Amino acid sequence: MRCLLTGGAGFIGAHLAAALLDGGDQVSVIDDVSTGSFENVKALQARDGFSIVVDSVFNSSLMEELVAECDIIFHLAAAVGVRLIVESPVRTIETNIKGTEIVLELAAKRKTPVVLFSTSEVYGKSNGTKFIETGDLILGPTSKGRWSYAASKIIDEFLALAYYKERQLPVIIIRLFNTVGPGQTGRYGMVVPRFVGQALAGEPITVHGDGKQTRTLTHVKDAVGAILKLVDHPGAIGEIFNIGGKEEISIESLAFLVKDLLKSNSPVVYIPYEKAYGDGFEDMRKRVPDLSKIQKLIGYSPRHTIEDIILDVAAHERQKNNRSGALP
**Residues with catalytic function:** 149
Write the DSSP string, 242-303.
EE--S-EEEHHHHHHHHHHHTT--PPEEEE-HHHHH-TT----S---B--HHHHHHH-----
| 294 contacts 233 by C-beta, under 8 angstroms | no
Q: Binding string, 103-142, against ligand UDP, x = CB under 6 A?
A: ------------------x---------------------
**Closer CB to ligand UDP, residue 69 or residue 274?**
274
Query: Which residue from 55, 133, 283, 308 is in contact with ligand UDP, where contact means CB under 6 A?
Result: 283
Q: Please, which of residues 212-231 interact with ligand UDP by CB under 6 A? A: 213, 215
First-residue to last-residue Cα distance in the chain: 42
Q: Please, which of residues 238-257 interact with ligand UDP by CB under 6 A? A: 251
Span near ligand UDP by CB under 6 A; candidates 24-32, 95-103, 207-215, 235-243: 207-215
**Closer CB to ligand UDP, residue 146 or residue 221?**
146
Identify each DSSP E strand in 76-170 by its residue range.
Answer: 114-119
Work out the angle between the directed axes of helices 191-201 and 251-261 (0-180°, nearest 10).
40
Alpha-carbon distance of 118 to 113, in angstroms, equals 16
Query: Which residue from 191, 227, 236, 298 is in contact with ligand UDP, where contact means CB under 6 A?
Result: 191
φ/ψ of 21, rounded to 5, equals: -65, -40
- H/E stretch holding 109 reads helix 89-110
Alpha-carbon distance of 175 to 150, in angstroms, equals 11
Mention every residue, 6+ apart, whose C-beta is less than 8 A from residue 65.
none
Query: Which residue from 208, 221, 259, 286 is in contact with ligand UDP, where contact means CB under 6 A?
Result: 208
Span near ligand UDP by CB under 6 A; candidates 14-22, 25-33, 206-214, 226-234: 206-214
Work out the angle between the directed axes of helices 89-110 and 60-68 (0-180°, nearest 10).
40
Minimum distance from residue 190 beta carbon to ligand UDP (Å):
4
Alpha-carbon distance of 110 to 133, in angstroms, equals 28
Span near ligand UDP by CB under 6 A; candidates 55-63, 123-131, 208-216, 294-302: 208-216
Give the residues across from 207 on adjacent strands: 270
Q: Does 66 bind ligand UDP (CB under 6 A)?
A: no
Minimum distance from residue 209 beta carbon to ligand UDP (Å):
6
Span near ligand UDP by CB under 6 A; candidates 105-113, 183-191, 256-264, 295-303: 183-191
| 274 contacts 220 by C-beta, under 8 angstroms | no
Query: Which residue from 15, 75, 175, 194 is in contact with ligand UDP, where contact means CB under 6 A?
Result: 194
| 284 contacts 213 by C-beta, under 8 angstroms | yes
Q: Does 178 bind ligand UDP (CB under 6 A)?
A: yes
Query: Which residue from 73, 82, 84, 227 is in contact with ligand UDP, where contact means CB under 6 A?
Result: 82
Alpha-carbon distance of 273 to 265, in angstroms, equals 24
Interface with ligand UDP (CB under 6 A), residue total: 14
Q: Does 190 bind ligand UDP (CB under 6 A)?
A: yes
Q: Helix, strand or coil for residue 90?
A: helix
Chain residues binding ligand UDP by CB under 6 A are 82, 121, 178, 189-191, 194, 206-208, 213, 215, 251, 283
